[in-house]
Amino acid sequence: MYINRVNTKILPVEFKYFAPKTVSEAASILNRYGEEVRILAGGTDLLVKVKQRLIEPKYILNVKGIEELRFIEDRSGEIGVGAATKLSELVGSEIIKEKLPVLHEAAEAVGSVQIRNMGTIGGNLCNASPASDLAPPLLVLNTSVKAYSSSGERVIPLEKFFLGPGETVLKPDELLVEIKIPCPPEGTGMSFLKVARTSMDLAKANVAVAIKLDGNTVKLCRIAMGSVAPTPIRLFQTEKILLGSEFTDGKIERAVQTASEEIKPITDIRSTAEYRREVSKVLVRRALKKAYERVKEGEING
Amino acid sequence: MGEIIEFTVNGLKRRIEVEPNELLINVIRGKLGLTGTKYGCGIGECGSCTVLIDGEPALSCLTLAIEVDGREIVTIEGIAENELNHIQEAFLDQGAVQCGFCTPGMIIMAKYLLNKKRNPTEKEIKEHIKGNLCRCTGYINIIKAIKEAAEKMQNSNVKAISKEL
């Protein structure tokens, strides 16, 4: 790892800096310089990597000043979030707290007050960390994202967005502009859980669950995990165990076992593959039970 | 090939030439000589470089200097008004300072919290300083100091109001 030891308060890479005010200006810069541009949407990941010379951008495009990328909109049945919306704005949003509480919980679990005040939802997704805290809840909410380029727009299901650590399907000329989150059906119970060394740290593993019941029969079941595969993933095999059957302790244990087999964890600086497999069982079990409790609470209160 | 930026630091307008790859902390410490703000880990883990940008806490080690053009910055030097601020006094009262390296960041976070909320809970205090590492005090006295600062603020408000009456 190279670090500029003379003065680490100056980045060891020289680049040209752009701070456009509109999406179309940003798109034309991306169109012109493509792969040589890195997008600055928070800095808490990008600038650390530049500092360590893991990336050496020729151009930096700061999107923090693009006002049209900062919004949280309650449309009928869908919440739209601008890509440059800060995590602190997600945490503080009454719309998110009320309509997508699981996203509120996950955003609150990221870093510190300072980090959340700098980091953005779009930056968190485009950084494509397998340990993203926002990705699992967004995956269980069936989120799509909108990419914009000079040649047009396209909507990508989040499930298809991540390719590997730090890699997404975005083309060099595309800018992530919006996160489109469908509101879950009435009566859905959701939960988010994370294990990390300290609450400031990135996850050793995290999980989000959404379930809906008819009587005691599982009608909707979505489970997603982070830090247990090269990308945040949905656990489709595990979901199938529960879907359409009674929500019983026996079924939960089968689901938990399947989850530990379905994930593909590795050993790295934060944890071992073995630990991740074990703790995933605990996380999935607890998250399912918590989501179930919330379904029941909703029935009583609602 | 620098660029001129204009911004406010602790109430004073500043005009400074910066390079695109220069971090805000380099300007604050190196060019303005405001060495109260500390440079710790440099990667967003320790919080000792925390300053307020337009009233919101941010890490000056992960903010490009060029980004703060037109904005308002408060560093630890801007917290005291002629004499020590009540938060600083409370830190002294409670023995919340040992080596002092984390203190500027802690006080900036305390100031931000108390600006938002006059009477924070212990949980809220902890949440606000969890991004600030202290390796000396074990945090207990820092939490006590922030509580004391909140109480002092409330008492002085009560006094101010009763004077008006």
In this predicted structure, what is the pLDDT of residue A220? 97
Residues B98 and B30 in one domain: no
Q: List the single residue in A with minimal CA-CA distance to B124.
A: A113
Nearest-CA distance from A33 to chain B in Å?
17
Q: Does B17 touch chain A (CB under 8 A)?
A: no
Instruction: Please state whether beta strands A217-226 and A167-168 pair in parallel, antiparallel, or not at all (unpaired).
Output: unpaired
Q: How confident is the model at residue A7 (pLDDT cuts 50, 70, 90)?
A: confident
Residues B96 and B61 in one domain: no
In this structure, how many other beta carbons lie within 10 angstroms of the beta carbon of residue A195? 19
Residue range(s) defining the domain that contains residue B12: 3-78
CB–CB of B62 and A44 under 8 A?
yes
In this predicted structure, what is the pLDDT of residue A40? 98
Which has more pLDDT, B82 or A138? Answer: A138
* Pick from A256, A262, A260, A265: nearest CA to A204: A265
Using alpha carbons, list the distances in angstroms from residue A179 to A42, A51, A121, A143: 16, 29, 8, 7
Domain endpoint, select from B78, B99, B114:
B78
For B59, the closest of A8, A51, A118 (CB atoms) is A118
Residues B94 and B73 in one domain: no
Q: Is the pLDDT of residue B164 over 70?
A: no
Alpha helices in chain B (DSSP H): 24-25, 86-93, 103-116, 122-129, 140-164
Q: Which tens digit of pLDDT belongs to each residue from A89-123?
A: 999 999 999 999 999 999 999 999 999 999 999 99
Residues B94 and B29 in one domain: no
CB–CB of A115 and B22 under 8 A?
no
| Mean confidence (pLDDT) of chain A | 95
Q: How confident is the model at residue A4 (pLDDT cuts 50, 70, 90)?
A: low
* pLDDT-wise least confident of A1-15, A37-51, B15-29: A1-15
Tell me which CATH code domain A16-62 carries.
Answer: 3.30.43.10
Residues B102 and B139 in one domain: yes
Q: Is the pLDDT of residue A172 over 70?
A: yes
Residue A9: what are its φ and ψ, rounded to 5°?
-90, 0
What is the percent of chain B where pLDDT is above 90?
87
User: What does the pLDDT average to over A28-50?
Assistant: 96
Q: Does A55 touch chain B (CB under 8 A)?
A: no
Residue A7: what are its φ and ψ, rounded to 5°?
-150, 100
In this predicted structure, what is the pLDDT of residue A260? 97
Q: Is the pLDDT of residue B154 over 90?
A: no
Domain endpoint, select from B78, B107, B123:
B78
In this predicted structure, what is the pLDDT of residue A86? 98
User: What does the pLDDT average to over A20-32?
Assistant: 98
Q: Is the pLDDT of residue B118 over 60?
A: yes
Evaluate whether A164 touches A231 at the Cβ level (below 8 Å): yes
Q: List the single residue in B with minimal CA-CA distance to A198.
A: B130
With beta carbons under 8 A apart, name residues in chain B contacting A48: 43-44, 62
Q: How confident is the model at residue B25 (pLDDT cuts 50, 70, 90)?
A: very high
Nearest-CA distance from A69 to chain B in Å?
17
Q: Which tens digit of pLDDT belongs to each residue from B49-68?
A: 999 999 999 999 999 999 99
In this predicted structure, what is the pLDDT of residue B81? 79
Cα B26 to Cα B34: distance, rounded to the nearest angstrom:
10
Q: Does B91 touch chain A (CB under 8 A)?
A: no
Residues B74 and B93 in one domain: no
* Tokens 């000589």 belong to residue: B33
In this predicted structure, what is the pLDDT of residue B155? 85
Tell me which CATH code domain A69-182 carries.
Answer: 3.30.465.10
Instruction: Write down the domain spans for chain A.
Output: 16-62, 69-182, 189-301
CB–CB of B130 and A112 under 8 A?
yes
Question: Amino acid identity of A17?
Answer: Y
Cα B129 to Cα B142: distance, rounded to the nearest angstrom:
9
Interacting residues of A79 by C-beta distance below 8 A, sequence separation 6+: A72, A73, A95, A96, A99, A100, A180, A181, A183
Fold (CATH) for A189-301: Enolase-like; domain 1 (3.30.390)
* Pick from A57, A56, A88: nearest CA to A70: A88
User: What does the pLDDT average to over A139-147?
Assistant: 98
Q: Is the pLDDT of residue B161 over 80?
A: no
CATH number of the domain residue B132 falls in: 1.10.150.120
Residues B95 and B117 in one domain: yes
Q: Does A4 touch chain B (CB under 8 A)?
A: no
Q: List the single residue in B with minimal CA-CA distance to A62.
A: B67
For A43, the closest of B19, B45, B62 (CB atoms) is B62
Interacting residues of B89 by C-beta distance below 8 A, sequence separation 6+: B149, B152
Cα A30 to Cα A45: distance, rounded to the nearest angstrom:
20
With beta carbons under 8 A apart, name residues in chain A contacting B112: 113
Q: Does B109 touch chain A (CB under 8 A)?
A: yes
H or E element that contains A29:
helix A23-33
Nearest-CA distance from B123 to chain A in Å?
13
Residues B94 and B147 in one domain: yes
* Pick from A158, A160, A78: nearest CA to A124: A158
In this predicted structure, what is the pLDDT of residue B160? 60
